[in-house]
């Protein structure tokens, strides 16, 4: 039986006094009650009947309790005696979508928007409805549907009824609609001459706008604001603060119980990189800390988990410990902007757990999670936001296993004490069923995947060594230097890392409480996985393991790429136990990841090798005995080209078929006969779908199209892709030939062929 406490208590007096649950909480409880009517077929007219009760603290609780019961059933749990009382950890459990009105999604990797198309809300909101149900099933109660780089058109009069349609789709599932708004809206959408938050006309404009929204959408959630950040307008234009701006709008929302989430992602992206004291990591604290206590009670400052920007590893933002009189929400990122864009499997829950459990030491033991719940400083509001960016893709996030992150986010927002493993197991059961082998294998794939990715993309606190001025995907080690964006790692000929200490560096470390500061300030005590975030050290600096920093960089990249390859084997072991469609989709992505991890590995180690001039003690870097460079093959039609950055192609060069084509590249196999695995490294540009054929002598043994949509139309670390052909029999003297057919401006570009005596090599005679 389902119902709120108020409704069910009178029917079941044995429930006793009201348990300690509140907002959205529930109680799953089995009770026996004497039946009032005779049971059919029973001679005993007053038999005890057993009831499964879903008792909600309120209506939200009934909804979440029902999903919780369904989840227990789906996981095959024992339901004979239920007594499970839950209250969510925090009132704000929202998601943000960065959808644009034209249907595209900023940092979305799974198709177009489920909300917008062609400048308007979609006519068909089926997916939006399904999304709301999905969100409700994991306890999420709010969704801001548009990009924080907000389009002011959303606040135009004709848009309101469209937003009301989305709210209607969300309503049955308890998900409140929210939107991101641009602070300059009073000018751009309202035609005023100013958007100065302290101007009375501006204030009146917001009040009027908010009232109109609530007239159409009485359960509207509120606004998200990105201001004075990455070129967005903001209160600084008028010499006003974030508190001035937030409060004017929050004041208008307050009578309607709406909230204002003001993002702390405020920084100067024109920093002077010559200045050793300049530091983007300091920005949020420097700007917001002085404003503590100045925000209205329905303002929540939305703080990214780290001080930079969703890197593969960052320390916890010091701001969490610095605003006792301000509501705070953490902003996490489910969409894997800097963590492989759902082409790489990266289960982020272990990372989030580290953040949430991190003790800020501001008032006794104060983990971030208890600051967010409002517990530490008795705040009325607080909680969780994740940037999700699901799209029209049939698996919502592209990679079917990436949904473990959305699930995990919801579960942690509800209960941050759950473990990463428990969440992985729950999700796997609910998604793929209760087969033991499936459960163990997928859990084994998920749990180490973050560390794996870190190993080949930027360990020791280097942050993701990606192309930071481009798509944030493949390797681009130098791109973070010599520009104002401030994602610096400060690698030079002698050493690497950014000195953020109080003593000699930018002073960022001093933004933490004294206990935390002490740990980070000292190069000896600093945890090694953040060493280069906090300190600049010579490449010869010796780590606890006895390895030098440079050798660690080499080793971790080799280890990471090897680990990525194991994911393919793990997944293959599930063939027949997973439905064909999802099996094939995950396999394709894992194979791609294994290849791209090698691209990452080679680019990073080559770059550091060149920069430091220090050889790899294991002799791997720069030595590829099993590779044949395309530029060294016998070319017909193909011409050698330089690739930029050089380290994203083997030997810095590739070949391109720039004419009509087809072109070919061939070489003679002069090694022992045997069965080999052949890897062909090529570039799959965003445009065109070149075709490749691989011949041994005149026999075609494989062909494929370069038809993926990787985020670049040039040959580089974003587009470098590996095709692997197993079990190829080669005889000494055979001629291998690759024929490339260019298409749509994509010149069938080829980097190298690698023929390694792999695991599956068996001697072959005859
Ligand atoms: O990391 C950056 C992203 C931007 C994003 C911004 C933000 C929406 O690259 O795409 O803009 O963060 O969080 O505001």
Q: Which protein residue's CA is at the shortest distance from atom 12 of ligand 1?
A: 309
DSSP-derived letter for residue 615 is P
> Taking the C-alpha atoms of 658, 664, 669 and 670 in order, what is their torsion angle to the nearest 10 degrees?
-70
pLDDT of residue 617: 98
**Average pLDDT along the chain:** 96
| Ligand 1: nearest atom to the Cα of 148 | 8
Residue 84 CA to ligand 1 center (angstroms) comes to 40
Whether 764 has a pLDDT exceeding 60, the answer reads no
Active site residues: 230, 309, 337
CB atoms within 10 A of CB 72: 16
Ligand 1 binding pocket (C-beta < 6 A) is 98, 106-107, 147-149, 226, 265, 309
> Taking the C-alpha atoms of 350, 352, 356 and 360 in order, what is their torsion angle to the nearest 10 degrees?
100
Q: How confident is the model at residue 757 (pLDDT cuts 50, 70, 90)?
A: confident
| Ligand 1: nearest atom to the Cα of 331 | 13
| Residue 506 near residue 282, CB atoms below 8 Å | yes
CB atoms within 10 A of CB 482: 10
| Ligand 1: nearest atom to the Cα of 309 | 1
**Residues contacting residue 311 through CB under 8 Å, at least 6 positions apart:** 338, 458, 463, 464, 487
- pLDDT of 646-660, one tens digit each? 999 999 999 999 998
3-state secondary structure of 432: helix
Residue 355 CA to ligand 1 center (angstroms) comes to 20
> Whole-angstrom Cα distance, residue 446 to residue 312?
15
CB atoms within 10 A of CB 622: 13
How many distinct helices (H) and strands (E) make up the chain? 18, 27
> Whole-angstrom Cα distance, residue 538 to residue 681?
34
- Cα separations in angstroms, 214 against 94, 203, 258, 313, 595: 19, 17, 9, 40, 51
Structure-token pair, residue 435: 């087969």
Whether 295 has a pLDDT exceeding 60, the answer reads yes
Residue 106 CA to ligand 1 center (angstroms) comes to 8
Determine the residue of 230, 334, 337, 479 to mutate for testing ligand 1's pocket, defined as the one with the most ligand atoms within 8 A of the Cβ atom. 230
| Ligand 1: nearest atom to the Cα of 338 | 1
Q: Which protein residue's CA is at the shortest distance from atom 3 of ligand 1?
A: 107
Residue 459 CA to ligand 1 center (angstroms) comes to 22
- Ramachandran area for residue 151 (φ above 0: left; ψ -120 to 50: alpha; else beta): beta
Residue written as token pair 């459960």: 439
Instruction: Give the count of alpha carbons within 13 A of 222, CB side only.
Output: 27
CB atoms within 10 A of CB 378: 7
> Whole-angstrom Cα distance, residue 430 to residue 77?
12
DSSP-derived letter for residue 541 is P
DSSP-derived letter for residue 521 is H
Helical segments of 433-577, H only: 436-446, 449-457, 514-521, 531-534, 549-572
Residue 265 CA to ligand 1 center (angstroms) comes to 9
> Whole-angstrom Cα distance, residue 231 to residue 473?
22
Residue 287 CA to ligand 1 center (angstroms) comes to 18
How are beta strands 26-34 and 83-86 bridged, if at all? antiparallel
Q: How confident is the model at residue 661 (pLDDT cuts 50, 70, 90)?
A: confident
3-state secondary structure of 121: strand
Whether 760 has a pLDDT exceeding 50, the answer reads no
Q: How confident is the model at residue 594 (pLDDT cuts 50, 70, 90)?
A: very high
Q: Which protein residue's CA is at the shortest distance from atom 11 of ligand 1?
A: 149
- E strand or H helix that includes residue 161: helix 160-170
3-state secondary structure of 278: coil
Structure-token pair, residue 515: 């206990």
Question: Could you tell me which of 92, 94, 97 has the C-alpha nearest to residue 121?
Answer: 97
Q: What percent of the chain has pLDDT over 70?
A: 97
Whether 318 has a pLDDT exceeding 90, the answer reads yes
Question: Mean pLDDT, to the nearest integer, of 303-330?
Answer: 98
Structure-token pair, residue 165: 């349609």
CA 487 to chain CA mean position, Å: 18
pLDDT of residue 763: 45
| Residue 245 near residue 233, CB atoms below 8 Å | no
Residue 486 CA to ligand 1 center (angstroms) comes to 14
pLDDT of residue 756: 87
Across 22-36, 44-58, 576-590, the highest mean pLDDT is recorded for 576-590
| Ligand 1: nearest atom to the Cα of 229 | 14
Q: Which protein residue's CA is at the shortest distance from atom 2 of ligand 1?
A: 309
Question: Mean pLDDT, to the nearest integer, of 78-90?
Answer: 96
pLDDT of residue 765: 42
- pLDDT of 421-454, one tens digit each? 999 999 999 999 999 999 999 999 999 999 999 9
pTM of the model: 0.97
| Ligand 1: nearest atom to the Cα of 98 | 8
Burial 703-727 (b: 16+ CB within 10 A, else e): ebebeeebbbeebbbbbbbbbbbee
Residue 633 CA to ligand 1 center (angstroms) comes to 43
Structure-token pair, residue 138: 């994991």
Question: Could you tell me which of 461, 549, 459, 507 has the C-alpha nearest to residue 276?
Answer: 507
Whether 199 has a pLDDT exceeding 50, the answer reads yes
Q: How confident is the model at residue 33 (pLDDT cuts 50, 70, 90)?
A: confident
| Residue 375 near residue 381, CB atoms below 8 Å | no
- E strand or H helix that includes residue 107: none
At residue 699, φ and ψ (nearest 5 deg) are -95, 125
Q: Which protein residue's CA is at the shortest distance from atom 13 of ligand 1?
A: 265
- E strand or H helix that includes residue 30: strand 26-34
Residue 749 CA to ligand 1 center (angstroms) comes to 32
> Whole-angstrom Cα distance, residue 458 to residue 479?
14
| Ligand 1: nearest atom to the Cα of 107 | 10
> Taking the C-alpha atoms of 611, 614, 620 and 626 in order, what is their torsion angle to the nearest 10 degrees?
60
> Whole-angstrom Cα distance, residue 745 to residue 567?
34
3-state secondary structure of 299: strand
Question: Mean pLDDT, to the nearest integer, of 170-198?
Answer: 97
At residue 483, φ and ψ (nearest 5 deg) are -150, 170
| Residue 586 near residue 571, CB atoms below 8 Å | yes
- pLDDT of 345-389, one tens digit each? 999 999 999 999 999 999 999 999 999 999 999 999 999 999 999
- pLDDT of 40-51, one tens digit each? 555 555 678 999
> Whole-angstrom Cα distance, residue 197 to residue 188?
14
- Return the bridge partners of 642, or none: 653
Residue 494 CA to ligand 1 center (angstroms) comes to 32
Residue 481 CA to ligand 1 center (angstroms) comes to 19
| Residue 93 near residue 82, CB atoms below 8 Å | no
Residue 559 CA to ligand 1 center (angstroms) comes to 31
Residue 154 CA to ligand 1 center (angstroms) comes to 19
Positions of E strands within 659-762:
663-668, 674-683, 690-696, 699-706, 720-730, 735-741, 750-756
Determine the residue of 99, 104, 308, 309 to mutate for testing ligand 1's pocket, defined as the one with the most ligand atoms within 8 A of the Cβ atom. 309
What angle do the packed helices 549-572 and 449-457 form, to 10 degrees? 140
């Amino acid at each position: 039986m389902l119902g709120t406490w108020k409704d069910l208590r009178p029917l079941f007096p044995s429930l006793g006094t009201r348990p300690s649950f509140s907002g959205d909480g529930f109680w799953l409880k089995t009770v026996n009650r004497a039946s009032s009517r005779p049971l059919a077929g029973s001679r005993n007219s007053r038999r005890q009947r057993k009831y499964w009760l879903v008792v909600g603290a309120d209506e939200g609780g009934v909804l979440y309790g029902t999903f919780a019961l369904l989840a227990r059933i789906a996981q095959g749990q024992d339901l004979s005696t239920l007594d499970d009382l839950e209250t969510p950890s925090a009132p704000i459990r929202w998601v943000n979508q960065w959808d644009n009105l034209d249907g595209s999604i900023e940092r979305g990797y799974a198709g177009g928007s489920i909300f917008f198309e062609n400048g308007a809300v979609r006519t068909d909101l089926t997916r939006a409805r399904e999304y709301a149900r999905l969100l409700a099933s994991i306890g999420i109660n709010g969704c801001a549907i548009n990009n924080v780089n907000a389009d002011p058109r959303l606040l135009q009069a004709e848009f309101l009824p469209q937003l009301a349609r989305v709210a209607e789709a969300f309503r049955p599932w308890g998900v409140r609609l929210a939107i991101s708004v641009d602070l300059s809206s009073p000018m751009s959408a309202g035609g005023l001459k100013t958007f100065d938050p302290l101007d009375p006309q501006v204030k009146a404009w917001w009040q009027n706008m908010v009232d109109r929204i609530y007239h159409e959408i009485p359960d509207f959630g509120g606004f998200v604001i990105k201001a004075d950040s990455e070129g967005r307008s903001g209160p600084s234009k008028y010499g006003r603060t974030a508190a001035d701006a937030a409060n004017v709008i929050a004041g208008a929302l307050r009578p309607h119980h709406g909230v204002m989430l003001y993002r702390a992602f405020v920084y100067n992206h024109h920093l002077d990189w010559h200045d050793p004291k300049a530091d983007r990591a300091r920005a949020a604290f420097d700007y917001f800390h002085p404003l503590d206590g100045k925000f209205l009670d329905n303002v929540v400052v939305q703080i990214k988990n780290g001080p930079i920007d969703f890197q593969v590893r960052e320390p916890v933002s010091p701001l969490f410990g610095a605003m006792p009189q301000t509501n705070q929400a953490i902003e996490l990122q489910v969409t894997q902007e800097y963590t492989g864009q759902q082409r790489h499997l990266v289960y982020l829950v272990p990372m989030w757990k580290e953040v949430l459990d991190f003790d800020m030491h501001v008032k006794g033991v104060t983990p971030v999670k208890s600051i967010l719940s409002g517990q530490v400083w008795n705040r009325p509001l607080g909680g969780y936001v994740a940037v999700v960016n699901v799209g029209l893709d049939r698996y919502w996030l592209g990679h079917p296993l990436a949904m473990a992150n959305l699930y995990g986010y919801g579960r942690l927002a509800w209960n941050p004490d759950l473990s990463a493993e428990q969440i992985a197991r729950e999700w796997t059961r609910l998604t793929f069923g209760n087969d033991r082998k499936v459960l163990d294998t997928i859990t084994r794939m998920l749990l180490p995947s973050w560390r794996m990715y870190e190993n080949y993309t930027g360990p020791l606190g280097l942050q993701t060594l990606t192309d930071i001025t481009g798509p944030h995907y493949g390797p681009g080690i130098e791109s973070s230097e010599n520009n104002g964006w401030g994602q610096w790692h400060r690698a030079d000929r002698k050493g690497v890392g950014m000195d953020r200490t109080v003593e000699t560096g930018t002073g960022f470390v001093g933004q933490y409480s004294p206990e935390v500061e002490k740990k980070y300030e000292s190069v000896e005590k600093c945890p090694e996985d953040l060493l280069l975030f906090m300190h600049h050290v010579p490449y010869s600096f010796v780590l606890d393991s006895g390895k030098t920093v440079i050798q660690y960089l080499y080793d971790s990249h080799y280890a990471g790429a090897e680990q990525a390859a194991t994911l393919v084997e793990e997944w293959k072991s599930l063939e027949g136990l997973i439905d064909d469609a999802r099996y094939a989709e995950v396999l394709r992505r894992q194979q791609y990841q294994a290849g791209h991890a090698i691209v990452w590995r080679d680019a990073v180690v080559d770059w550091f090798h060149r920069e430091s001039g220090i050889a790899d003690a294991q002799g791997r870097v720069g030595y590829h005995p099993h590779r044949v460079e395309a530029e060294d093959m016998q070319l017909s039609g193909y011409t050698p080209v330089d690739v930029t950055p050089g380290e994203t192609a083997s030997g810095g060069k590739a070949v391109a078929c720039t004419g009509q084509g087809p072109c070919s590249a061939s070489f003679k196999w002069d090694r022992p006969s045997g069965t080999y695995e052949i890897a062909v490294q090529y570039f799959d540009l965003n445009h065109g779908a070149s075709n490749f054929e691989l011949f041994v002598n005149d026999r075609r043994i494989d062909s494929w199209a370069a038809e993926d949509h990787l985020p670049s139309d040039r040959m580089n670390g974003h587009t470098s892709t590996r095709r692997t052909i197993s079990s190829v029999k080669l005889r000494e003297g055979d001629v291998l030939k690759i024929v490339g057919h260019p298409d749509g401006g994509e010149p069938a570009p080829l980097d190298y062929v690698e023929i390694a005596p792999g695991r599956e090599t068996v001697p072959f005679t005859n």
